[in-house]
């Protein structure tokens, strides 16, 4: 029982670090915008309207969500590297980020893209209320996907930071004190809950389970990162251009077939390289 509490304590600490970095990044970005606006108004007008300042601060959070996420994710990984370095440990070893054959990334990439297709299809066919959809669309509209910063944030650094924390640290620490399937469910639940909006929570939970299974099957966190990157790339930048009413049945069918084949291929290549 002692080991369970220790594992839970570590998992909570890593989760709190992830959340704290987002709050700190939000504060810093908002503060910088507020100071910039205040200086501009005082210089040009000799005065400052409090209500307008509050509006600027609020808009700063909503319009710079991807920048805030980018900063927080970079800081999260940086803090973790420093934390383990101070303890004479290597972060990559602690999160089981062991090398996998380059060829493995081909089926892993296919898995990530196919999973994004299947999630999109599931959201389309499930009986989701209009109220939930409106909330989802409102939340999604706050995320700017155009430009370099949003792409770096959602496609590169978010997968790296999230996999490092949730599959690399939370999952592995929980697994030391409980069955792997219990650890997988717990980390997926936390991962999903932090996404906020109910639909994001639902598919992030499923995503957390799938990624834990991939990491467990291949023996490397790099596999989870690769799948996560391709999932975000497909879902955020490709799906809207190819997924239509006429193409959906063919894309979904192809994705199911490719997903199964790619999963078997990735696991086989990864395991053969480790002789297990």
Structure confidence by residue, pLDDT tens digits, 184-232 = 999 999 999 998 888 889 989 999 999 999 999 999 999 999 999 999 9
C-alpha 110, offset from chain centre: 18
Please choose, from the candidates 204, 227, 206, the residue with its C-alpha nearest in 3D space to the C-alpha of residue 215: 227
| pLDDT value at 110 more than 80 | yes
pLDDT, position 274:
65
CA dihedral of 132, 210, 221, 270, whole degrees rounded to 10: -150
187 Cβ contact partners less than 8 Å away, ≥ 6 residues apart: 11, 166, 167, 170, 171, 174, 208, 212
pLDDT, position 22:
92
What integer is the mean pLDDT of 33-57? 72
> Is 28 within 8 Å of 195 (Cβ atoms)?
no
pLDDT tier at 28 (50, 70, 90 boundaries)? confident
pLDDT, position 70:
93
| pLDDT value at 143 more than 90 | no
pTM, whole model, 2 decimals?
0.90
Summary mean pLDDT of the chain:
88
pLDDT, position 241:
80
pLDDT tier at 181 (50, 70, 90 boundaries)? very high
What integer is the mean pLDDT of 72-99? 94
List b or e across 125-154, with b for residues whose CB sees 16 or more CB atoms inside 10 angstroms: eeeeeeeeeeebeebeeeeeeeeeebbbbb
Q: What is the DSSP letter of 126?
A: S
- Report residue 248 as tokens: 């959906």
Report the percent of the chain where pLDDT is more than 70.
92
**243: number of CA atoms within 13 Å, CB side?**
22
pLDDT tier at 142 (50, 70, 90 boundaries)? low
> Is 120 within 8 Å of 203 (Cβ atoms)?
no
Cα separation, 169 vs 187, in Å, equals: 10
Helix and strand element counts for the chain (H, E): 14, 0
pLDDT tens digits, 230-266: 999 998 888 888 888 888 889 999 999 999 999 889 8
pLDDT, position 53:
67
pLDDT tens digits, 144-173: 667 788 899 999 999 999 999 999 999 999
Cα separation, 105 vs 185, in Å, equals: 25
CB atoms closer than 10 angstroms to residue 265: 17
Cα separation, 70 vs 25, in Å, equals: 9
What integer is the mean pLDDT of 92-100? 92
> Is 123 within 8 Å of 248 (Cβ atoms)?
no
Is pLDDT larger for residue 84 or for residue 47? Answer: 84
Structural domain boundaries of the chain?
2-274
Question: Cα-flanking dihedrals φ and ψ of residue 101, to 5°?
Answer: -55, 140
Cα separation, 216 vs 184, in Å, equals: 10
């Amino acid at each position: 029982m002692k080991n369970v509490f220790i594992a839970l304590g570590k998992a909570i600490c890593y989760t709190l670090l992830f959340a704290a970095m987002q709050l700190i990044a939000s504060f810093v970005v908002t503060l910088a915008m507020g100071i910039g606006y205040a200086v501009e108004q005082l210089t040009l007008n000799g005065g400052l309207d409090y209500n307008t300042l509050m509006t600027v601060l609020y808009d700063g959070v909503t319009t710079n969500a991807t920048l805030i996420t980018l900063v927080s994710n970079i800081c999260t990984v940086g803090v973790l590297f420093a934390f383990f370095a101070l303890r004479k440990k290597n972060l990559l070893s602690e999160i089981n980020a062991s090398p996998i054959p380059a060829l493995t990334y081909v089926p892993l990439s296919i898995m990530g893209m196919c999973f994004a297709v299947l999630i999109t299809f599931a959201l389309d066919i499930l009986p989701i209320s209009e109220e939930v959809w409106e909330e989802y669309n409102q939340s999604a509209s706050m995320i700017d996907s155009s430009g370099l910063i949003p792409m770096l944030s959602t496609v590169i650094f978010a997968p790296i930071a999230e996999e490092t924390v949730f599959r690399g640290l939370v999952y592995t620490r929980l697994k030391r004190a409980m069955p792997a399937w219990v650890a997988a469910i717990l980390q997926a639940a936390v991962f999903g809950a932090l996404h906020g909006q109910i639909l994001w929570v639902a598919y992030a939970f499923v995503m957390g389970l799938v990624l834990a299974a991939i990491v467990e099957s291949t023996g490397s966190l790099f596999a989870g990162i690769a799948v996560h990157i391709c999932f975000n790339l497909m879902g955020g930048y490709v799906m809207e251009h190819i997924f239509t009413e006429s193409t959906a049945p063919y894309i979904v069918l192809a994705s199911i077939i490719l997903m199964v084949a790619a999963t078997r291929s990735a696991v086989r290549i990864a395991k053969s390289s480790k002789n297990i």
